[in-house]
Amino acid sequence: MIELRPYQSEIIDAIHKAGDNVLTVMPTGTGKTIVFTYYAIKHNMRTLVLNWSEPLIDQCIDAVKLIDPSVSVGRFIGKDRDLDSTITVASVQTLKNINNLMLIDRDFDLIILDEAHHISPSLIKILYAFGMVDLDTCGYENAMFIEPDINPYRKLLGVTATPDRTDDIPLSKVFQERIDAPNLEWFIENEHLSDLKFISIDTGIDMSDVRSYMGDLSETQMAKKLIDSGYINELSRVIQEYLPDKESILLYVPNVDTARLAAKLLNQAGIPSDYVIGAEKERRNEVIDRFKNKNIKVLVNCLVLKEGFDAPNVDAIVLCRPTKSKLLIRQIIGRGTRRCEGKDLCTVVDLVVKRRQQDIISASGVFDDLDLSPAEQQTMTIREKINRQKEYVVGRTSVVSVLDKIAKELALDEEEQKKKRKRENPDEFVYEDMEDNINLLLDTRILRTLGLDAKSFHKEFRTEVDKLNTTKPFDIKDNKPLYDYQVRYLQQETGYTKDDLDLLNPVQAQSFMNIIKRQTKPISDSNRQILENVYKVDPDDVPDRNIDARRLMKQLSKMRIQYGKA
């Protein structure tokens, strides 16, 4: 048997320990086919693999031969009717026919469902025939004329890279357990998959009036916009400008007409290109072989090259068809994440359009935990972003730890000062606590993340509120929402969420803003000169903030008086 990667071995062990119905989620290019075929062969199980297309069936058969050539493997698709092999790879489209389903031997120990997110009534009917779903899940109409073969030791294993969507039936209806491999970021960080770089290019095309069709944008209307705007003629410039060194580029366009036109225009610009469409099977296979052999630079398609297309040499992807589907984006990007010799980076060019609704998924939107800014997209790969984020988390943890310590010391010191003032002026001293909502915001955001001075902040807050109430610049009501400029400022400066800001009224928010502006104001030139020239403070030790500079000057002045140097 071939040598597995450690994570593959761990997943196989987890599958073996799991129950009878288990779903395994692994990113594209991490070896899903190797994992499930290895599991079947290792445990000597007679296996039926249910698949959706001929390329996926061929991949599965190749994986079996690679792992153990002595294991018999056969096809059950179209006119092929293998009934005797240890592993049978069958087409869902073939088996959904009731005659074919009754013909196939149902004495299997393991049923594997590849691309398991495609759960549909026809597939459920097949699973019911093998006793893997109950009648309620299958539905009486689908179960007609089928007597299920019940085997309490039979196991159902589903595998997918994109579990976010199902066709008709939720995955939880079929699978009781789920095994998740690490996310895509982990595989890129650990160099199991190719690194990715995203480039966003604004096309200026307005697709606000393009209607939605079956959950995504209308391909026909998108194609018309591309052609009418003339941007399809710009694709050669995009490739020459942004991808000059790339050798194997996948270009995704909306429909057949734009695929043919784009290939024609690219060839005219001197970029060897060809297109593939679903209807031309023999030609499609021939063009794909030329692309894999690097005889053409750009392979244009209209969503033909998704599941089952395996070309590790893809080093760039141009997405010239906006979409509302994160699933689709993941499938497309997965065509470029496989590693091969001489390639460790795949560049994804995302052509951006105008849209009235903010419903289009950006190419970099497949990463839930990484927020790539426009500037970062132009300069940083995913691996570099991950490393920077890790450094930031480590640094931030250290800073927060120090600020926590300071905050505790300040709180203790402030409490002692209160007690002292209370002892000295028992009749005059009245301490009024902050409102609970203000204390909550101070504890969680302001003092810790901005390092603002706790004493002066508490002291100034009441003064600010009283001042604002006196001048009455606002329509002050308890239920009055914050003004837009207040929301923008506080979210930008403090990291508040909308839920945080709902705790404040406009006067309190303005008070926060005023104090933040004062306490974060850069040191003035005059104060810097006083500290350096009068108090002889080293320029490197001069504080950055004006409030810290004034505090230092006050402290130094007291010291001079104390030691007789006034």
Q: Locate 527 and state its tokens.
A: 């104060």
Domain-by-domain residue ranges, the chain?
6-181, 187-380, 525-562
Q: Which amino acid is at 158?
A: G
User: d(Cα 28, Cα 194) in Å, to the nearest integer?
Assistant: 11
Chain centroid to Cα 394, Å, comes to 22
Between 17-21, 281-285, 406-410, the lowest mean confidence (pLDDT) is in 406-410
Q: What is the largest CA-CA distance in the chain?
A: 106
In CATH terms, is domain 187-380 a member of 3.40.50.300? Answer: yes
Share of the chain above pLDDT 70, in %: 81
Q: Locate 209 and state its tokens.
A: 């009036």
Q: What pLDDT is recorded for position 455?
A: 59
Q: Mean pLDDT across the stretch 520-526?
A: 85
Q: What pLDDT is recorded for position 247?
A: 92
Q: What pLDDT is recorded for position 427?
A: 47
Q: Mean pLDDT across the stretch 71-90?
A: 89
Q: What is the pLDDT of residues 111-165, one digit of tens each?
A: 999 988 888 888 888 888 888 888 777 776 666 667 778 888 899 999 998 887 6
Residue 450 has pLDDT above 70, yes or no: no
Residue 503 has pLDDT above 60, yes or no: yes
Q: What is the pLDDT of residues 528-566, one digit of tens each?
A: 888 888 888 888 888 888 877 887 888 888 777 766 554
Q: Mean pLDDT across the stretch 192-220?
A: 88
What is the overall mean pLDDT for the chain? Answer: 82
Q: Locate 19 and state its tokens.
A: 């129950």
Q: How confident is the model at residue 25 (pLDDT cuts 50, 70, 90)?
A: very high
Q: Locate 5 and state its tokens.
A: 């990667």
H/E element, 157: strand 155-160
Q: How confident is the model at residue 432 (pLDDT cuts 50, 70, 90)?
A: very low
Q: What pLDDT is recorded for position 529?
A: 86
Q: Locate 215 and state its tokens.
A: 């959950």
Calculate the dihedral angle through the C-alpha atoms of 397, 402, 406, 409, rounding to the nearest 10 degrees.
100
Backbone φ, ψ for residue 114 (5° rounding): -80, 150
Q: Tell me the pTM.
A: 0.65
Q: For residue 48, give the 3-state DSSP assignment.
A: strand
Q: Mean pLDDT across the stretch 270-293?
A: 89
Q: Locate 521 and state its tokens.
A: 């104001």
Instruction: Judge contact between 107 and 48, C-beta under 8 A.
Output: no
Tell which wins on pLDDT, 273 or 479. 273
Q: What is the pLDDT of residues 337-368, one digit of tens each?
A: 998 888 889 999 998 888 766 678 888 877 76
Q: Mean pLDDT across the stretch 231-242?
A: 92
User: d(Cα 317, Cα 333) in Å, to the nearest integer?
Assistant: 7
DSSP secondary structure, 385-423, as one string: HHHHHHHHHHHHHHHHHHHHHHHHHHHHHHHHHHHHHHH
User: d(Cα 12, Cα 16) in Å, to the nearest integer?
Assistant: 6
User: d(Cα 206, Cα 215) in Å, to the nearest integer?
Assistant: 19
Q: What pLDDT is recorded for position 429?
A: 41
Instruction: Judge contact between 251 and 298, C-beta under 8 A.
Output: yes
Write the CB contacts of 459 (distance below 8 Å, at least 6 apart in sequence). Answer: none
Q: How confident is the model at residue 449 (pLDDT cuts 50, 70, 90)?
A: low
Residue 478 has pLDDT above 60, yes or no: no
Q: Locate 129 and state its tokens.
A: 């025939």
Q: Which amino acid is at 427?
A: D
Share of the chain above pLDDT 90, in %: 26
8-state DSSP, 158: E
Residue 396 has pLDDT above 80, yes or no: no
Q: What pLDDT is recorded for position 431?
A: 37
Q: How confident is the model at residue 243 (pLDDT cuts 50, 70, 90)?
A: very high
Tell which wins on pLDDT, 412 or 92. 92
Decide whether 6-181 matches 187-380 in CATH topology: yes
Q: What pLDDT is recorded for position 262?
A: 94
| Homologous superfamily, domain 6-181 | P-loop containing nucleotide triphosphate hydrolases (3.40.50.300)
Q: What pLDDT is recorded for position 179?
A: 92
H, E, C per residue of 447-498 = HHHHCCCHHHHHHHHHHHHHHHHHHCCCCCCCCCCCCHHHHHHHHHHHCCCH
